[in-house]
A and B are shown apart, each in its own frame.
Chain A
Amino acid sequence: MNVLANALFRTKAGFAALAVGLALCLAAAPARAELRIDITRGNVDPIPVAVPAFGGDDDRAAKMGADIAGVLQADLERSGLFRGIDKQAFIQTFASMQVQPRFPDWQAINAQGLVQGRTATMPDGRLRVEFRLWDVFAAQQLKAQAYVTEMSNWRRIAHIMADQVYERLTGESGYFDTRVVYIAESGPATKRIKRLAMMDQDGANHRFLTDGSDLVLTPRFSPSTQEITYMSYYNGVPRVYLYNIDSGKRERLGDFPGMTFAPRFSPDGNRVIMSMARGGASDIYTMDLRTLERRRLTNTPAIDTSPSYSPDSQYVVFNSDRGGNQQLYVMAGDGSGVRRISHGEGTYATPVWSPRGDYIAFTKMAQGRFFIGVMKPDGSGERLLSDGFLVEGPTWAPNGRVLMFFRQNPSDARGQGGDSYLYSIDLTGYNERRVVTPMEASDPAWSPLIP
């Protein structure tokens, strides 16, 4: 057994108090993997991957090992790039990681990837998890890593390992160790109850952050994932708020004379950019969270809203009707050099810059329908990914290759229907799937990778 050196560090804030031990890569040679997925192609055939239950040194560790394998496999499958193999088909069963895979056994069931893992309870009660990713047909180890954490963090470990597998096989960074904040909806349309809610990317660890007594809208994560900015009608006055996830404290952001809305953090987390509506005009402002300095970026009688920073903070994309109808515009971070970038048929709204900087996602309205689409930051290369009676509000996974949005169906004259749910879709336009929430949902915002 190779020696695993565990370099322990603790995450900054106390959210999960996760201690992750980064291990050395066990593979001697940085192998050229034959097993590799090009996710820039359209509809890929999912790669068959076997994820046997991770063996455990004791009953508790074994139970956790099985659960971790399940979460990891589900992450991989939801990406649409991988297909799990039924455990009934397995020929080899692992007693421990010491056992090398018998590659012909796995080739026989057509597994191309194999995720082998082991769990153990540490003397201090913490959980140790290690895994290896094998290229079955090349009989080659692609990745090996070990983690030590509190037992309660087992799901995060599974997501982190799924990210490792995804990254190793696609060349793109993963997005499974993330959360989603969104608006949970219930009740009739005329008296809709909306609550701030948060969950892991796979729907686990769901919790409500507000009780529904105030109308809340459009939550977005801070880069640290510790704060959420959103809009609330607290005391009947619609304003932008900050919510601290650790403390549960909320505070009104600034003292603006008009309605503030459409907030987003700057990429460094030091500012919030948003709109203020006053006197029939909506303009874009930033507020520095350290100095509380307020800065106005647009000044027109038009509606300027839905601002979103480029990842390098140099530019802001926003939505304006200054030209007569809603289109997308880009300006420099100081408000100068405004230029229109959307030129297709219809109107455009809710632009969001990809964390990779290569695309801007948007909502488009044309011919009585709504679309989710992407274009390059210069407005070229527009592609529509999904459409419906109402689809709105795209948000990017941190790797910039998957998006989430919400879809609302039409209601009849008695108010039946009109249900709203979250969906994810690949940048390619494939693999659209419902994101499971305990009740109806809208306004999703994907977190960055959890630090």
Chain B
Amino acid sequence: MKIRYLSVVAASLLVAACSSGPEENANVGGTGGQATGTSMNAPVPGSPEDFIAKAKDRVFFALDRSDLDESAVKSLMGQVAWLKQYPTTKITIEGHADERGTREYNLALGERRANAVKQFMQAQGVAAARISTVSYGKERPAVVGSNEYAWSQNRRAVTVVAK
């Protein structure tokens, strides 16, 4: 189990590193990643690892915005499909902001982003009782660095499946 998990993390690091584009040395921290399910050892179906492997676990937002763009909707549709396949799972949506805002406002902005994802999922038929939200404001960046790439990665809502 541990080995499987590590391989997923390794795959996600690889993908994230590839997607970092022109920014060099972009580091990935935090939990999760954008694994594509290419890992050799498939995680247990319906597990948090399976969710990360099969669906994109996070969506990104424009500066100071909380509306879902086309790519966010696509990712969320994948999440919804997985959640419908495993209807007993529960999730927490973590809303985050980049470092370019004040702490208190960013807490509110993170909540607004998490709520935007929750609203979308509810509209797609995921029961509200399965979804909780939490905001971390700018307290838990996924990518370190004071640059546009890091900020774009940190303005996010991450769906975490409960263990």
Contacts and interface: CB of A to CB of B under 8 A. Distances in A.
Contacts of B115: 279-280
Contacts of A408: 99
Interface residues of A, number: 50
Given A306-B104, A350-B104, A259 B134 contact: yes
A261 B29 CA distance: 26
Given A280-B66, A280-B115, A413-B24, 18 more contacts: A191-B140, A218-B103, A218-B104, A237-B134, A238-B134, A280-B111, A280-B112, A281-B112, A282-B112, A321-B105, A350-B102, A390-B99, A412-B145, A413-B147, A414-B145, A415-B29, A418-B144, A442-B103
Interface string A235-263: 01110000000000000000000110110
A411 B146 contact: yes
A392 B147 CA distance: 19
B142 interface: yes
A165 interface: no
Interface in A108-124: none
Highest count of chain A CB atoms <10 Å: which of B26, B115, B142, B144? B144
A160 to B, nearest CB: 33
Given A190-B141, A413-B25, A413-B26, A277 B108 contact: yes
B55 interface: no
B134 to A, nearest CB: 7
Given A277-B111, A414-B144, A217 B139 contact: yes
B145 A411 contact: yes
A445 interface: no
B98 to A, nearest CB: 11
28 contacts: A188-B29, A189-B144, A194-B139, A231-B107, A259-B107, A259-B135, A261-B107, A262-B104, A277-B107, A277-B108, A277-B111, A278-B111, A280-B66, A280-B111, A303-B105, A319-B102, A321-B105, A365-B102, A390-B99, A392-B102, A408-B99, A411-B145, A411-B146, A412-B25, A412-B146, A413-B24, A414-B145, A415-B145
Interface of A: 188-192, 194, 215, 217-218, 231, 236-238, 258-259, 261-262, 275, 277-282, 303, 305-306, 319, 321, 325-326, 349-350, 363, 365, 389-390, 392-393, 408, 410-415, 417-418, 442-443
Given A190-B30, A325-B64, A413 B145 contact: yes
Contacts of A281: 112
Contact of A217 (B103, B105, B146): B103
A326 to B, nearest CB: 6
Top 4 nearest A-B pairs (CB, nearest first) are A190-B29, A415-B144, A410-B146, A280-B115
Contacts of A412: 25, 145-146
Given A280-B66, A282-B111, A325-B64, A413 B104 contact: no
Contacts of B45: none
Contacts of B99: 390, 408
Given A192-B139, A280-B112, A303-B109, A411 B144 contact: yes
Contacts of B142: 190
B104 A349 contact: yes
Nearest to B139: A215
B112 A365 contact: no
B23 interface: yes
A325 B105 CA distance: 11
Interface string B37-61: 0000000000000000000000000
Contacts of A192: 139-140
B108 A261 contact: yes
A413 B27 contact: yes
B145 A282 contact: no
A413 B23 contact: yes
B144 A238 contact: no
A273 to B, nearest CB: 12
A217 B99 CA distance: 15
Nearest to A261: B107
B80 interface: no
A392 B103 contact: yes
A327 B29 CA distance: 33
Given A280-B112, A413-B24, A306 B105 contact: yes
B126 to A, nearest CB: 16
Interface string B100-126: 111111011101100110010000000
A197 B123 CA distance: 44
A365 B101 contact: yes
